[in-house]
Structure 1
């Protein structure tokens, strides 16, 4: 009998941010422009990394708009 077990996770990390004009449409708090990094790992081995810019709420953390 053969059993395959896959462990894949994805982490989003904010590298740097600065204030932006505007407010969050969900909670009404301020927004920030952030440089984000997404890392996908398979069995603790990083297989894919991507950097991108997004407008993020400073209170609830939701991504309001992304620039890929």
Structure 2
């Protein structure tokens, strides 16, 4: 019996960001509104891409709220 394993990963990238009012509830750092891009790859070949907006912490990088 032969078994093949393929690598599937997902990357998040911040395309643009601007400061927002408020602080992070986890670490107390500042918040920013960011335009995010998620790219899913299968065997190093991207096959799905999605753009969305989120409020992220500028210090710890946590996603506080997402707008899909």
Range of TM-score over shorter length? over 0.9
What CA RMSD, in Å, does the superposition of the two structures yield over aligned residues? 0.6
Q: TM-score, normalised by structure 2?
A: 0.97
Structure 1 residue runs of 5 or longer lacking an equivalent are none
Measured against aligned partners, the alpha-carbon deviations of 1:32-67 in whole angstroms (never above 9, x if no partner) come to 000000000000111100000000000000000000
* Matched residue count: 68
Alignment of 1:1-68 (within 5 A): 1-68=1-68
Moved over 6 A (4+): none
Structure 2 residue runs of 5 or longer lacking an equivalent are none
